[in-house]
Amino acid sequence: MAFLEKGFLGLIDWWRYLVVLSLMIAGIAIFSIPHGAAISLKTALGEADATRLDDVSYLMSLFESNLNLFYITLPFVGGLLFLWIGVKKVHRQNLVNLTTGRSRIDWSRVRFSFGFWTCIVALFVAIQLILAPETLVFNFQLKSFLILVVIAVIMVPIQTSFEEYLFRGYLMQGLGVLSKNRWFPLLFTSVVFGVMHISNPEVAKLGKVLLVYYIGTGFFLGIITLMDDGMELSLGFHAANNLISALLVTADWQVFQTYSVFKDVSEPTLFISIVPPLVLFPIATILYAKKYGWSDWRQRLTGSIELPK
């Protein structure tokens, strides 16, 4: 059975989706309490300016880098946990059906996608080092980096998996149940995924045109999910994109500000919002298609959903 069709296997009353989304939001809120408590404590001690607490960049500066990474990724643990609980208990659906159209999760696809995009990220860092070495400052601090590795390897894949299971999994299947087609879930989840990042400091730095990158990323991940009949490739790609970036290169204007190997001190340009969705993602899609023998693009991306009998 195809991936989107598996959305019909569980209990699909409309109110169940509201319950699960409410549970997910509650999970995020509960796991946000430690960060909120820490901010409140700093404010009470006079170590934080209460008038600036709506400034994301300012909040990012309140804590040591590794602690800050833990705080900002912790809510995703609650979101993912409560989403999985809701899918299992409210929809009576299992994790495999939420993940893939195959009979079991294909971890080789996850590993390939992770490794492939890790190489691409590393390649671009190497190119930047060769062509513009003055834009990268060596930032390596062994003790802090080792702590970063532990936190990032555990927490970042949880953050990216939450986003994938929410957008490419739960919402895509749920909207497929609602619309009985494939194009609407792809369009809706891609746009909402992009707009969700509007509060990121990157957008504050470069402007809302950066949403082109985030929406383009949503379309790319949605397309490879539908074409490959499962989320494995998107899970691997998204984890590599965020994790390897957090470990290799970060900048003071990014949401992840870590003890990465390098700090990018260059002035950001719209290059980062245009080149990936218009050049890199199409190339990656073609390579995935060649490796996994994708065909019937029109039906897989825009066709109707065949209801289980």
Q: Predicted confidence band at 34 (pLDDT cuts at 50, 70, 90)?
A: very high
Check if the beta carbon of residue 173 is closer than 8 Å to that of residue 4.
yes
Helix (H) or strand (E) holding 249: strand 249-250
Could you report the per-residue pLDDT of 175-221, keeping only the tens digit for each? 999 999 999 999 999 999 999 998 888 887 888 888 999 999 999 99
Arithmetic mean of pLDDT, 81-89 = 97
Q: In sequence order, what are the beta bridge partners of 250?
A: 263
Check if the beta carbon of residue 197 is closer than 8 Å to that of residue 214.
yes
Task: Report helix, strand or coil for 263.
Answer: strand
* pLDDT exceeds cutoff 80 at 308: no
pLDDT of residue 309: 64
Check if the beta carbon of residue 115 is closer than 8 Å to that of residue 122.
no
pLDDT of residue 255: 82
Backbone angles phi, psi at 250, to 5 degrees: -130, 170
CA–CA dist 211, 274 (Å, integer): 10
CA–CA dist 264, 273 (Å, integer): 16
Task: Report helix, strand or coil for 214.
Answer: helix
Check if the beta carbon of residue 105 is closer than 8 Å to that of residue 224.
no
CA–CA dist 30, 214 (Å, integer): 27
Check if the beta carbon of residue 20 is closer than 8 Å to that of residue 91.
yes
pTM: 0.95
Could you report the per-residue pLDDT of 235-289, keeping only the tens digit for each? 999 999 999 999 999 988 888 889 999 999 988 877 777 889 999 999 999 999 9
User: Which amino acid, residue 251?
Assistant: A
CA–CA dist 68, 183 (Å, integer): 38
Order of strands across the sheet with 262-264? 136-138, 262-264, 249-250
**At what angle are helices 232-248 and 211-228 packed, to 10 degrees?**
140
Arithmetic mean of pLDDT, 32-56 = 90
Task: Report helix, strand or coil for 250.
Answer: strand
